[in-house]
Amino acid sequence: MTQHDDLPQESGPAGGWGSLRSISRIFGEARPNPAVLDTLRRQNKPGGFMCSSCAWPKPPNYKPFEFCENGAKATIWENTSARCTPEFWDDHTVTELRAWTDHELEMTGRLTAPMSYDAETDRYVEVSWDEAFAEIGTGLKALPPEDVVFYSSGHAGLEASYLWALMARLYGNNNLPQSSNMCHETTSVGLKKVIGSPVGTVVWEDLAKTDCYFFFGQNPGTNSPRFLHPLKELKDRGGKIVTFNPVREQGLVSFVDPQDPTAMVTGSETIISDQYHQLKGGTDIAAILGISKAVIEADDARGGVIDWDFINEHTTGFDTFIALARDTTWQAICDECGLTEEALREAAEVYMQAERVIGVYGMGLTQQAHGAWNIGMLVNLLMLRGNIGREGAGICPVRGHSNVQGQRTVGIAEKADLVPMDKLRELFDFEPPQKDGMHIVDAAQGLLDGKVRAMVCLGGNLVRALPDRARLEDVWQAQDVTVMISTKLNRSHLYPGKSAWILPCLSRSEVDEQETGNQWITIEDSFSMIHGSRGHRSVPSDKLMSETAITCELGKVLTPPNPKVKWDEWRADYSLIRDLIEATYPDDFRDMNKRMNEPGGFWRDNPAHHRVWKTESGKAEFTTPEKLNALDFDDAEGRFRLLTMRSNDQFNTTIYGYSDRFRGIEGTRDVLLMNEEDMKAQGLAKDDVVALVGDAGDGVARRLGGLSVIPFDLPRGTVGSYYPECNVLVPVGHHDHLSKTPGSKAVPVRIERDAA
């Protein structure tokens, strides 16, 4: 639990005035219509619209302002008054724009018209929607279906997503990768394996009942700030929070509630984490094994600590796990994770004293080469004291995009056996493809191999978000067809395929007027609650279409005529699509149209929440990892573990600005954060400019230069730099062994002085 007061990251609590200042800075830059304030008031409330930022649940007992710093930024950002019109291309070529930063591309504003790439002039030119759909249809139908990929980033609502997946299957493949392939796929696969559920077991009421959180590799202050309120409430009632993270993240250190006037005026902050353990990157397995060992030892010594009834009745595999915990020495555990035995015993003490524990995790566990073991270990820890499937306790993966979980629920899945194909066959009278489709890593490899010939993207910015992005830029533009359904210009548009299209869409806060009026859509949050959402803002351009409408029009040109497939009717009335969702998934979506606006949403239920385990063995399964870390490389002289970070001023590849105020880094993203001892050992001083060089040993040269060294409170051997810039350094093949989620939180690199 090191403290370095001279290092830059201690820059005030999460929330507080800093949060308001940050929102107002974004307001100034995006110059939205002031009516955006009314939009914010409606955010995340029944009858209003659901924030398009993160997937944190929307409570039934909502606050006057049920949005956070980053939700406000996301809404303000998409409501910008800036417009990227067809005339923008009079002054710029695609090649020239490649020299712009992601932030500069963002600042061009909302896209206003469908565009197609003209190779002769190297510009996008406006086209009519009819022309765009007709030509996309011709282009894609000329390709073998298995060479075409339908990607979706977790924004679009359940209606567009259901139809998107249906469209791909009617077209002829299951090539339906999604952003969660880079994110919580480890959860979908790893959690499913051990408890039979691909999603978390915790629901909103559990937050009010729990007395302890264990946080592993999730950063609520930046990525799910509305979570800070339940954390503060827990602290107010005397609960405990224990955190494991190589970085001291401000949101897990302290918080001033910006909605509490007294706290704002007095500046009284709530200390969030009672214990903060800065373990070495990628070593959660060792840390959790240490805590488990202490729990087992306490049970041996005094009994009554382990919940034997739960273990005997509900689990399998405990014998091998307990043997590993007993046989592994404290020395081995502490050497691995860099924490002391005493620190791990302190964590175990809090764990044992708590009646009800919630285990929270995010990318720190999932984006590792053995991320599934990480998740298994956290579940092991919870199971030791029956902390799963019980009130106030459970496992809580914090999901990313606002509807990332829901898109999977309604059929966006590349694995055929995750989808009720017989229902689809029955409802739409066709033979759905049975062969598994491509995961996003397979698609990236397919691009590199020249096998993928077209990408159709419902949102997202894959040329930035994927590993090995420098290699992908070249092959992306070698494709026959690229189609991007987007709200703003992004770098992926700058690598156009031979036939390339940007289809601009509405955002969620805007009126989605169809033949039967302004349409509702629905989304599913991290707690499997389904919410209705309807926009009310005027549209930025009358040439925009909704994601659902675009999907229907693509469906019409891509799929064979079929009397059961009624694209026009569905487009006119989204409630008919909800009927289809209910018909396909009757248990999950009973009375969907009626229930979607219940305050707090309606719950899709989850067997593991009731201790029903849909696993292979029918029991909850203990995991016995084969090593003490989640890495697929060893330490070597000069090799570092690169942790790719999100700043407080970005949403994935959308860069709002250059202020990572929680970490005290201002005005630049080109930094390398390093432990001071490591700097000394490498002969580096503050502000030295260095390059990171890939050290995966696969014969591919990977390099990112121009990074200024900043001394930072990190464990030795772990260095940090920002995502997405760092993606040049992540090999496509570096991913979780079970789920293929890229191992972006521990990438093998070396440091070189940069001549630049």
Ligand X SMILES: Nc1nc2c(c(=O)[nH]1)N[C@H]1C(S)=C(S)[C@@H](COP(=O)(O)OP(=O)(O)OC[C@H]3O[C@@H](n4cnc5c(=O)[nH]c(N)nc54)[C@H](O)[C@@H]3O)O[C@H]1N2
Query: Which residues of this protein are in contact with Mo ion, per CB under 5 A?
Result: 183, 400
As measured in angstroms, the least distance from the Cβ of 649 to ligand X is: 8
- Note whether 112 binds ligand X by CB under 6 A: no
DSSP class per residue in 135-203: HHHHHHHTS-GGGEEEEE-TTS-HHHHHHHHHHHHHHT-----BGGGGTTHHIIIIIHHHHS-SS----
Q: Applying CB under 6 A, which of residues 40, 207, 350, 465 lies at the interface with ligand X?
A: 465
Q: Applying CB under 6 A, which of residues 15, 196, 362, 731 lies at the interface with ligand X?
A: 362
As measured in angstroms, the least distance from the Cβ of 535 to ligand X is: 11
- Note whether 723 binds ligand X by CB under 6 A: yes
Which CB, 207 or 298, lies closer to ligand X? Answer: 207
Q: What angle do CA 598, 260, 225 make, to 5 degrees?
A: 60
Q: Strands 394-397 and 357-361: what pairing?
A: parallel
- Tokens read off for 393: 């306790």
In the range 149-168, which residues lie near ligand X by CB under 6 A?
A: 153, 155
In the range 214-273, which residues lie near ligand X by CB under 6 A?
A: 216-219, 222-223, 244-247, 249
What does 651 interact with, of ligand X, Mo ion, none (CB < 5 to 8 A by kind)? ligand X
What does 461 interact with, of Mo ion, ligand X, none (CB < 5 to 8 A by kind)? ligand X
> 43 — phi, psi (to 5°)?
-65, 135
Please tell me the distance from the alpha carbon of residue 357 to that of residue 385, in angstroms, as a whole number: 9
Between the CA of residue 212 and those of 3, 53, 241, what are the distances in Å? 24, 27, 6
In the range 547-586, which residues lie near ligand X by CB under 6 A?
A: 547
Q: Applying CB under 6 A, which of residues 651, 655, 672, 692 lies at the interface with ligand X?
A: 651
Please tell me the distance from the alpha carbon of residue 273 to that of residue 281, in angstroms, as a whole number: 19
Stretch that binds ligand X, among 320-328, 333-341, 619-627, 647-655 (CB under 6 A): 647-655
What does 201 interact with, of ligand X, Mo ion, none (CB < 5 to 8 A by kind)? none
Neighbours of 396 (CB within 10 A): 26
Which CB, 487 or 499, lies closer to ligand X? Answer: 487
What does 249 interact with, of Mo ion, ligand X, none (CB < 5 to 8 A by kind)? ligand X
- Note whether 315 binds ligand X by CB under 6 A: no
- Tokens read off for 614: 């849909």
Which CB, 127 or 337, lies closer to ligand X? Answer: 337
As measured in angstroms, the least distance from the Cβ of 399 to Mo ion is: 7
What does 315 interact with, of Mo ion, ligand X, none (CB < 5 to 8 A by kind)? none
As measured in angstroms, the least distance from the Cβ of 494 to ligand X is: 12
End-to-end distance of the chain based on CA atoms, in angstroms?
37
Q: Applying CB under 6 A, which of residues 80, 405, 479, 487 lies at the interface with ligand X?
A: 487
Between the CA of residue 124 and those of 81, 93, 108, 644, 675, what are the distances in Å? 21, 8, 14, 33, 46
- Note whether 364 binds ligand X by CB under 6 A: yes
What does 723 interact with, of Mo ion, ligand X, none (CB < 5 to 8 A by kind)? ligand X
Report the SS3 class of residue 463: helix
Report the SS3 class of residue 663: helix
- Note whether 500 binds ligand X by CB under 6 A: no
- Note whether 286 binds ligand X by CB under 6 A: no
Q: What share of the chain is helix, strand, coil (3-state, %, to 5)?
A: 40, 20, 45
Question: Considering only CA atoms, which of 561, 560, 558 is closest in space to residue 138?
Answer: 558
As measured in angstroms, the least distance from the Cβ of 179 to Mo ion is: 6
- Note whether 88 binds ligand X by CB under 6 A: no
Strands (E), 24-137: 83-84, 110-111, 115-118, 123-126
- Note whether 671 binds ligand X by CB under 6 A: no
- Tokens read off for 183: 């994110």
Please check whether residue 690 is in contact with residue 754, taking contact to mean a CB–CB distance below 8 angstroms.
yes
Which CB, 70 or 559, lies closer to Mo ion? Answer: 70
What does 675 interact with, of ligand X, Mo ion, none (CB < 5 to 8 A by kind)? none
Which CB, 390 or 571, lies closer to ligand X? Answer: 571
Dihedral in degrees, nearest 10, Cα atoms 295, 298, 303, 305: -30
- Note whether 54 binds ligand X by CB under 6 A: yes
Buried b / exposed e along 241-250 (16+ C-beta atoms within 10 A): bbbbbbbbbb
What does 465 interact with, of Mo ion, ligand X, none (CB < 5 to 8 A by kind)? ligand X
- Note whether 653 binds ligand X by CB under 6 A: yes
- Note whether 460 binds ligand X by CB under 6 A: yes
Binding residues (CB under 6 A) for ligand X: these are 52, 54, 70, 153, 155, 179, 182-183, 216-219, 222-223, 244-247, 249, 281-282, 284, 362-364, 367, 398, 400-401, 458-462, 465, 485-488, 490, 505, 507-508, 547, 643-644, 646, 650-654, 723-724, 726-727, 730, 744-745
